[in-house]
Structures are given as structure tokens and as C-alpha cells.
Structure 1
Amino acid sequence: MNFQQLRSVREAVRRGFNLTEVAHSLHTSQPGVSRQIRELEEELGIELFVRAGKRLTGLTEPGGHVLPIIERMLLESSNLRQAGQEFVARQSGLLSVAATHSQARYALPVAVQEFRGRFPDVKLHLHQGSPKQIAQMLLDGDADVGIATEALGDYAQLVALPCYRWTHSVIVPPGHALLDGPLTLEALARHPLITYDNGFTGRNRIDHAFESQGLAPHIVLTAMDADVIKTYVQLGMGVGIVAGIAYEAERDTQLRALDAGPLFGINHTKLAVRRGSYLRGYVHAFIESFAPTLTREVVEQALASEAGDD
């Protein structure tokens, strides 16, 4: 048994049983992948995959039982390698952080700047995506840390920890009628609205607030990016609803902001890591720089807990 055999099985499942894609991802040939899988099956004495001729079409029942063990073995091999690297080069390496646009643009810059000052020899990769894409990057091992408001707490394979709270703001051009009176859902519903795509930056809370009052808001444009929303508000296309951190009075001089926390409630941004993963010292340093309450002790205790306990 060897790790290449285990990787071939794992990638076959991840790539939808397409051996051509598996071979490409493992930088080998398709016959080589087939041979690795067959040799492992022969050693274990069971068939891991359902076959239609030479094609793999799914996992057998034994394969379904074995797959989580293979995943754990590969994860622990990665942890072992990283633990060794930790002692060889404590101050250098790679840190991969996945975040939504709002987090990358407005919440992360101070932590990133501080981290680069402390660890100049660590290469920092910052990936942007939807909350579900961020979760998948963590599960696939493509990111060490994920930061988003939605989705991360929905996966048992991830440890998702709350790091800070925020509220929405309503943004309008100077002189807008909403600036003259109390901000209510009824008042907002009378205007065309521009806000986030479904599944981004507290959009579910916005929808729920209107629905709970029996209101149907007129949403004319949605975007993943708060900067896009602000641009179209400045053009007079509608009233914007964005994360409070996305409004910067010194930069957004053509806009005014109203606190919408009482209307849409409090959102909790979470930081997630893959359960069972080994985090190098500088990863803990980055996490604590971004969220001071998430000390190494807190994170390691959460990583050691069983799914459902954190």
C-alpha cells in the first residue's frame, strides 16, 4: 500500500470517477491510475468502485466505508509533512486564505499588513469566492483558512469559529428622501434596491426581514461586490444595502449611510479551518491577528473537539 494508491482513490471520487481528469490532477497516465486502484483493491481484498466495462461509475458499499479512512490517512500524512516543515522553517512557508470580496476588501487588510510585517518570508495567497466555494477550498486542502459570513458552519468537516459581528447599512446619494425620516422596511420597499447576490454577505437576513413584514422589495440589481453596489447607487439606479464595513465616509464622499442594524439584525462572520488539520505557527499568528479572541489555545481546542461539539 502506498500514498499514490490512496490519492488515486480519493481523486477518482473528487473528479466524478473520470480517470482522465484524475490522471491530469496527479500528473500521471490513465493506465497508471487504473493500475494503482486495482493494486490497492487486490491488497485489501475488496472492490472499491462499481464498474461499467473499464469505466468507474461509483463507489461500492465497501468503498464507501473505506473512503473516510483514506481521507484521514492522506490528511495525517499532510499534517506530518507540515509538522516537519514547521521545525525546519518556522518563519517561512505558504499561507493560503480564502475569503469573500467583502472580507478581503474591507476586513482583512489590517491583519494582512500586520502579518506581512511579522512574517516577511511567508508567501500569502489570497483567494476570493462565494462562501460555498471557500468551504470547498478548505475541504480540498487548497486553503488553510476561510473567512465568510455564510455556509462555513454547515460542514461537519470544518471547524467554524465566530470572529466578529457586523450590521448592514443603507447607502444613498446626498439629499435622498430616506435621509429625512426614520428608516423603516416600509420606506425601503418603496424604492428600487441594489444589494448582494443570494448567499452573500447577509442577504438571507435582508430577505427574511422583508418577508416577515409581508413586504416584497423591488430589487433591481444584485452583485457580489459592495464596490459594484456603491457604483450603481451613485448612478442613481437605486438604494443600496451593504455591509456596514463597506461604507467609508472619507472615500465614499458621494454617498451617505444609514445604520440598518435594527432592520436586518446582527451578522456573525466566521473563520474556518479543516477539522483535523495541522496549523503551522504562523497560521495561528494570522488567525489571532485577524480575530484576537481566536488564540492558538482556542483554535486547537476546537480542532480537537468532535464534530457538533464546537
Structure 2
Amino acid sequence: MNFQQLRSVREAERCHFNLTEVAAALHTSQPGVSRQVRELEDELGLELFVRSGKRLLGLTSAGQALMPIIQRVLLDAESLRRAGQELQGREEGRLSIAATHSQARYALPHVVRDFRQRYPRVTLHLHQGSPKQVAEMLLAGDADIGVATEALAGYEQLVTLPCYRWSHSIVVPPGHPLLSLSQPVTLQDLVAFPIITYEVGYTGRSHIDDAFAQAGLVPEVVLTAMDADVIKTYVELEMGVGIVASIAIDEERDSHLCAVDAGHLFQINLTRLGLRRNHWLPGFAYSFIENFVPTLTREVVTQAQEAH
């Protein structure tokens, strides 16, 4: 049994059992992948894949049972390699961050810049995805650190730590009727206009929907997007009233729009940082985390990872 055999099995599942993609991911040939898989199956005395001729169709029940063990062994092997580098005093390697677009675009740039200046020999990978995809990247070992507002807290295998709280804002073009109200904007005021906001599952959208539902109101959502910049673009075209994360508003870049705080309308959001439970991290990863959230020191993070 060797690591290449285990990688072949893991990549087969990741690539949806497409051997061409598996071979490309492992920089080998399809026959090479098939051989590695067969050798592991022979050693285990079990078939891990359902087959149709030479094609892989899915995992057998044995494959499903053993896949978590295979993934854990490979993750532990990577942790061992990285721990060895750190014990040698080598501040080099890679750090993978998974984040939603809003976090990558608005919350992380200065943290990433500072990290690169401090650790020039560390390759930084920044992956973007939905909150669910961020969680899945963490679970699969494709990311060391995840940053998202939604979804992360729903996985037992992940440790989640609070980063910062934020609210939504309303964005409209200059001269919009909402700007001339004598009282703070209400939900009733908002439903009089078409709404442009985030897709379901992104950037606090659930809190927006909950607020309208609890008030017995049904807003006319005419356009949704993952990206606040896209939302603001269509607000500028006067297609509707935008609801975006307050951190997505830049006074200089968005000088052609007017923002109104909506913290009194929608529940405050909590952005979380996610890590795999009991997963070893290099020292520079803790440095990244603490630079992002000063209260999350190495001691605090380690204690959270080791807690059950």
C-alpha cells in the first residue's frame, strides 16, 4: 500500500470517476491510475468502485466506508510533511484560503498583502466559492482556512470561530425617493421598489428574507447576484434598490451611489472563520488568522481545534 494508490482512489471520487481527469490531476496516465486502484483493491481484498467494463461508475459500499479513512491518511501525511518543514525553521510552503466573493473582495485584501510581505516564500492560494463550497473545500483538505458568513457552522468536522459582525446597507442612485424620507427607511418603504440583492445562501441573504417574511411582506426581487459590484452596477442603471453588505461600499469608488444603513431592518450578520478539527496548521497560518482577527491568537485557535 502506498500514497499514490490512495491518491488515485481519492481523486477518482473528486473527479466524479472520470479517469481522464484523474490522470491529469495526478500527472500520470489512465492505465497508471487503473493499475494503482487495482493494486490497492487487491491488497485490501475489496472492490472500491462499481464498474462497467473499464469505466468507473461510483463507489461500492466498501469504497464509501473506506473513503473517509483514505482522505484522513492523506491529510495527515500532508500535515506531517508541513510539520517537518516548520521544525526545520523553514517559513515556506503553501497556504490555501477558501472564501466567499464578498470576503475575498472586501475583507481579506489587506490581510493577504501583509501576509505576502511577511512570508514571501509561502505560496498563497485564494479560492472563491459559495459558503457551502467553502465548507466542502475545508472538509476535502483543499483549503486550510475558510471565511464565510453562512453555512460553516453546520458541520461537526469543522471548528468555527467568530471574525466580525456586519450589517447590510441600502444603495440607490442620487435623488431616489428613499433619500428624502423624514424617518428611517422601513421595510414597507422598501417593498414599494424593485429589489436587487444577493443570491440565496450568500452574504446574509437569509436575514433579508427572514425580515420581510416576519413583517408579512413580499418584496419584488428582480435581480440577484453573488457579487456586490454586480448589484451596484444594476442599481446605477436604476433597475431597483440594492441591498448589499456594508463592507462592500467604497465611498470613493461608489461616489455615484448613495448608501443608507439598514442595520435596523435586518439581523446583524456574523462572519466566521472555519478550520478542520484537529488539523495541524503551520505557524504562518496562525499568523494569517491573527492578522485578520487579532483576538484569534494561536493559543485560542489551537484550543478550539482540540476541543470536542
Q: What is the TM-score normalised by the length of structure 1?
A: 0.91
- Counterpart in the other structure of 1:271: 273
* 1:240 to 2:242 alignment: yes
Structure 2 residues not aligned, in runs of 5+:
none
Give the secondary-structure state (helix, strand or coil) at the position aligned to 1:208: helix
- For residues 259 and 120 of structure 1, what CA distance do their matches in structure 2 show? 39
Farther off after superposition, 109-118 or 162-171:
109-118
Query: Deviation per CA, 1:169-220, whole angstroms, max 9, x where unpaired?
Result: 1112233221223211111000111111222111111112112222111122
RMSD: 2.0
- For residues 15 and 125 of structure 2, what CA distance do their matches in structure 1 show? 24
- Counterpart in the other structure of 1:48: 48
Contact 1:90 1:281 in 2 (8 A): no
- For residues 140 and 66 of structure 2, what CA distance do their matches in structure 1 show? 18
* Paired letter, 1:132: K
1:61 to 1:233, Cα distance in 2 relative to 1, 3 A: closer
User: Of residues 290, 295, 298 in structure 2, which corresponds to 1:296?
Assistant: 298
- For residues 172 and 224 of structure 2, what CA distance do their matches in structure 1 show? 16
- Counterpart in the other structure of 2:146: 146
Query: Deviation per CA, 1:98-120, whole angstroms, max 9, x where unpaired?
Result: 22221122211232233233223
- Counterpart in the other structure of 1:211: 213
- For residues 269 and 250 of structure 1, what CA distance do their matches in structure 2 show? 25
Give the secondary-structure state (helix, strand or coil) at the position aligned to 2:126: strand
- For residues 201 and 164 of structure 1, what CA distance do their matches in structure 2 show? 13
Farther off after superposition, 111-120 or 78-87:
111-120
Give the secondary-structure state (helix, strand or coil) at the position aligned to 1:273: strand
- For residues 288 and 204 of structure 1, what CA distance do their matches in structure 2 show? 29
- Counterpart in the other structure of 2:6: 6
Deviation at 1:290, TM superposition (A): 0.5
- For residues 63 and 52 of structure 1, what CA distance do their matches in structure 2 show? 16
* Paired letter, 1:275: R
Q: What is the TM-score normalised by the length of structure 2?
A: 0.91
1:199 to 1:155, Cα distance in 2 relative to 1, 3 A: same
- For residues 236 and 63 of structure 1, what CA distance do their matches in structure 2 show? 54
Contact 2:71 2:140 in 1 (8 A): no
User: Of residues 224, 228, 231 in structure 2, which corresponds to 1:229?
Assistant: 231
Deviation at 1:89, TM superposition (A): 4.9
- For residues 191 and 207 of structure 2, what CA distance do their matches in structure 1 show? 15
Structure 1 residues not aligned, in runs of 5+:
none
Contact 1:172 1:239 in 2 (8 A): yes
Give the secondary-structure state (helix, strand or coil) at the position aligned to 2:259: strand
Deviation at 1:70, TM superposition (A): 1.3
- For residues 17 and 206 of structure 1, what CA distance do their matches in structure 2 show? 39
* Paired letter, 2:24: H
Q: How does 1:248-259 map to 2 (within 5 A)?
A: 248-259=250-261
- For residues 188 and 17 of structure 2, what CA distance do their matches in structure 1 show? 52
Contact 2:82 2:93 in 1 (8 A): no
Give the secondary-structure state (helix, strand or coil) at the position aligned to 2:163: strand
Give the secondary-structure state (helix, strand or coil) at the position aligned to 1:51: strand
- For residues 130 and 295 of structure 1, what CA distance do their matches in structure 2 show? 27
- For residues 157 and 25 of structure 1, what CA distance do their matches in structure 2 show? 26
Give the secondary-structure state (helix, strand or coil) at the position aligned to 1:194: strand
- Counterpart in the other structure of 2:222: 220
Deviation at 1:56, TM superposition (A): 2.8
- Counterpart in the other structure of 1:107: 107
- For residues 114 and 215 of structure 1, what CA distance do their matches in structure 2 show? 45
Q: Percent identical across equivalent pairs?
A: 66
Farther off after superposition, 181-190 or 11-20:
11-20
| Aligned residues between the structures | 306
Give the secondary-structure state (helix, strand or coil) at the position aligned to 1:28: coil
* 1:161 to 2:169 alignment: no
